[in-house]
A and B are shown apart, each in its own frame.
Chain A
């Protein structure tokens, strides 16, 4: 800090890019008056990786593996959104069994993501015991996913036109055992977050957002549903096997942090139910259909419900071996506004919990934005983007 400057009237607490509360880099400037927050701003973009540009150099199959690495927590939904989009472009329909397995893995992923969030949110509030227990239980799902796909993260379960592996009885039994273990644990966590006095003191009426505000700020996923906005792609525009295995939209009306806890935990029960249903009624048939390496020209939009909310893919093909353009909009990007809008008026101690409340994923939503004027329009090459990144962070 520069001591020579005139003393400033505002006291700004910087959170990030490196801060114990943040697991990924982002920068928040929290203006405080004593302990009370008066303003909050965010600056993102510390981990832009250029994946959208990168996939333009891959062929259609390779691109999926690169896109799957956008997020380490919800990798499967990225691959699913992309695969569904490419299949729509090619006019191919994956077999029902493949679609069911996609949904199965997506719901398992949701379970592990929500349990992970529960732990992180509890840790931000200083409740490390809940953090440790929820992460211990999450290991059950990680083990199941590893047994099913061979990987704890980045399952790469999809191929274009279907899925890569089958779910046999051994897998199904392992999944059922894990769910049977997790269901009573989840009931316990629901009881903890709704009855523990100290936790309620930190979550009830903190970061309250009305459904109108949630609509105006364009929130998605559990953040919107906690404010009573019934917005869920699995219900609004069912994809993959969701028409056959419908889910119920879980909403709450309070709109505060407690509601976000409750919505996410109740979504776990819904996921358990769907997982059991899929295992019981897994359609028979092939796992994949063959696809040609060239995708016919066209544009499409593919939307799936990630654990954090609506994941949006725009795909454009010029008829070649590579995607012409892939645009990814991850759910975290839609939810930042809600943090900044609700933070003023709260205590500084609430800010980490508010940030954690939207289940942010920083690396997923970092993009490069340039304002393109008509006169200076140009197409960037991969090499130029890379050089720009090197210069930017120098």
Chain B
């Protein structure tokens, strides 16, 4: 589906801006609710993520001693802007991407990494010991999943013969679902997305029972709210990208809701199935198994073509 929207509308309302913020909170709610139901809990009400954000925005933001205030205030904005920008290049809500150029896949992936990078820097910016350890872990984890995740998303791109998201999406709509033709890549990408979002069992950078909230320990109020929205949007963008690449593309809003919802169900199930991995276990898993799987698939694709 393709509708021409004036650039300002695209940026502020749909598919950028307001739509992303509200859809992001809806997806966060769905994720929390699903995990809660898997864990035999009731889970939050539908407006809880919005209420959390509104409350945080209204609260006083405490700037701790010893931080660089520019970085402290700037990093949450950078993180949010990165994910919001990334959303413009993906087929959000089943519409054609607002902006598209050759190689936008790489740009999108790096815009998504900006989130983790900002969180790592935000943690390293404070003097808090929990933040420092959390930042170290967040960045260590970034280096472990990033390469396999990128390679897993290159699989469909190679199959489609283009590094442009809209072309891959169009190719996926006309062919077999790539989750069937490239199951290994799908698996690596899905688990990589969970690592990117620091969802359990990859939540050691912010393991509550060890280092409180990790890099986010010193954040309160506005900065914390922005990071949270940023992560919601990242979840939405990541799911969209996965659905467009591996689940037969996104032709219309109904397909978008069904496919991303299905993916969310799988990630929620995975979140509730496992014990938290230690950071050394996470890194070991990615470099010993994840990268090998992704490489094997990449070579296979390169030879098949």
B-contacting residues of A (Cβ < 8 Å)? 1, 3, 11-14, 19-21, 32, 34-35, 122-130, 132-133, 136, 196, 198-199, 201-202, 347-352
The reply to whether A20 and B212 form a contact with Cβ atoms under 8 Å apart is: yes
Q: In angstroms, how far is the closest chain A Cβ from the Cβ of B27?
A: 20
Give Cα A310–Cα B273 distance, bound, in whole angstroms. 36
The reply to whether B276 and A126 form a contact with Cβ atoms under 8 Å apart is: yes
The reply to whether B209 and A202 form a contact with Cβ atoms under 8 Å apart is: no
* Chain A residues in 8 Å Cβ range of B276: 125-127, 198, 202, 349
User: Is B288 interfacial (CB-CB < 8 Å)?
Assistant: no
The reply to whether B275 and A352 form a contact with Cβ atoms under 8 Å apart is: no
The reply to whether A21 and B39 form a contact with Cβ atoms under 8 Å apart is: no
User: Is B52 interfacial (CB-CB < 8 Å)?
Assistant: no
The reply to whether B273 and A129 form a contact with Cβ atoms under 8 Å apart is: yes
* Chain A residues in 8 Å Cβ range of B208: 20-21
A-B contacts besides A126-B276, A127-B274, 19 pairs, CB < 8 Å:
A1-B129, A3-B65, A20-B209, A20-B212, A21-B208, A35-B133, A124-B209, A125-B209, A126-B201, A126-B203, A126-B207, A127-B275, A129-B38, A133-B39, A198-B201, A202-B278, A347-B279, A347-B280, A349-B204
Q: What would be 8 A-B contacts, judged by CB atoms less than 8 Å apart?
A: A13-B133, A20-B209, A123-B209, A198-B275, A198-B277, A201-B281, A202-B278, A349-B207
The reply to whether B39 and A126 form a contact with Cβ atoms under 8 Å apart is: no
* Chain A residues in 8 Å Cβ range of B279: 35, 347, 349
Segment 47-92 of B: residues with Cβ below 8 Å from A: 65-66
Give Cα A350–Cα B200 distance, bound, in whole angstroms. 17
The reply to whether B209 and A347 form a contact with Cβ atoms under 8 Å apart is: no
User: Is B127 interfacial (CB-CB < 8 Å)?
Assistant: yes
When C-beta atoms are compared, the residue in chain B nearest to A130 turns out to be B275
Give Cα A122–Cα B201 distance, bound, in whole angstroms. 13
With A3-B66, A11-B129, A12-B129 as contacts: A126 and B200 at CB distance below 8 Å:
yes
Give Cα A126–Cα B201 distance, bound, in whole angstroms. 8
User: Is B113 interfacial (CB-CB < 8 Å)?
Assistant: no
* Chain B residues in 8 Å Cβ range of A124: 209
When C-beta atoms are compared, the residue in chain A nearest to B201 turns out to be A198
Give Cα A130–Cα B272 distance, bound, in whole angstroms. 9
* Chain A residues in 8 Å Cβ range of B207: 126, 349
User: Is B130 interfacial (CB-CB < 8 Å)?
Assistant: yes
Which single member of B41, B127, B200, B277 contacts A201 (CB below 8 Å)? B277
Q: In angstroms, how far is the closest chain A Cβ from the Cβ of B210?
A: 5
Give Cα A351–Cα B278 distance, bound, in whole angstroms. 12
* Chain A residues in 8 Å Cβ range of B278: 201-202, 347, 349-350
Q: In angstroms, how far is the closest chain B Cβ from the Cβ of A263?
A: 19
Interface core residue of B39, B41, B66, B127 (most chain A CB under 10 Å): B39
With A3-B66, A133-B40 as contacts: A351 and B274 at CB distance below 8 Å:
no
With A1-B127, A12-B129, A132-B40 as contacts: A19 and B212 at CB distance below 8 Å:
yes
Segment 204-237 of B: residues with Cβ below 8 Å from A: 204, 207-212
When C-beta atoms are compared, the residue in chain A nearest to B140 turns out to be A35
Give Cα A126–Cα B35 distance, bound, in whole angstroms. 14
When C-beta atoms are compared, the residue in chain A nearest to B278 turns out to be A349
Q: Mark B289-305, 1 if CB is under 8 A from A, else 0.
A: 00000000000000000
Give 5 closest A-B pairs by Cβ, nearest first: A126-B276, A198-B275, A127-B275, A21-B209, A132-B39
* Chain B residues in 8 Å Cβ range of A122: 275
Number of interface residues of B (CB under 8 A): 31
* Chain A residues in 8 Å Cβ range of B127: 1, 3
* Chain A residues in 8 Å Cβ range of B212: 19-20
Give Cα A34–Cα B212 distance, bound, in whole angstroms. 17
When C-beta atoms are compared, the residue in chain A nearest to B213 turns out to be A20
* Chain A residues in 8 Å Cβ range of B280: 35, 347
Give Cα A348–Cα B129 distance, bound, in whole angstroms. 12
* Chain B residues in 8 Å Cβ range of A125: 209, 275-276
With A3-B127, A35-B279, A352-B209 as contacts: A132 and B274 at CB distance below 8 Å:
no
* Chain A residues in 8 Å Cβ range of B274: 127, 196, 198
Give Cα A1–Cα B129 distance, bound, in whole angstroms. 9
Q: In angstroms, how far is the closest chain B Cβ from the Cβ of A352?
A: 5
The reply to whether B275 and A196 form a contact with Cβ atoms under 8 Å apart is: yes
* Chain A residues in 8 Å Cβ range of B200: 126, 128
Give Cα A275–Cα B219 distance, bound, in whole angstroms. 51
* Chain B residues in 8 Å Cβ range of A14: 129
When C-beta atoms are compared, the residue in chain B nearest to A3 turns out to be B66
Give Cα A319–Cα B264 distance, bound, in whole angstroms. 70
Give Cα A92–Cα B297 distance, bound, in whole angstroms. 79
Give Cα A352–Cα B207 distance, bound, in whole angstroms. 11
* Chain A residues in 8 Å Cβ range of B273: 129
* Chain B residues in 8 Å Cβ range of A352: 209-210
Interface core residue of A133, A347, A350 (most chain B CB under 10 Å): A347
Give Cα A202–Cα B209 distance, bound, in whole angstroms. 14
Segment 179-213 of B: residues with Cβ below 8 Å from A: 200-201, 203-204, 207-212
Q: In angstroms, how far is the closest chain A Cβ from the Cβ of B37?
A: 11
* Chain A residues in 8 Å Cβ range of B38: 129
* Chain A residues in 8 Å Cβ range of B40: 132-133, 136
Give Cα A9–Cα B281 distance, bound, in whole angstroms. 27
The reply to whether B129 and A13 form a contact with Cβ atoms under 8 Å apart is: yes
The reply to whether A132 and B281 form a contact with Cβ atoms under 8 Å apart is: no
When C-beta atoms are compared, the residue in chain B nearest to A202 turns out to be B275
When C-beta atoms are compared, the residue in chain A nearest to B212 turns out to be A20
* Chain B residues in 8 Å Cβ range of A136: 40
Which single member of B39, B130, B133 contacts A129 (CB below 8 Å)? B39
When C-beta atoms are compared, the residue in chain B nearest to A15 turns out to be B210
Interface core residue of A11, A14, A198 (most chain B CB under 10 Å): A198
With A19-B212, A21-B210, A352-B209 as contacts: A132 and B277 at CB distance below 8 Å:
no
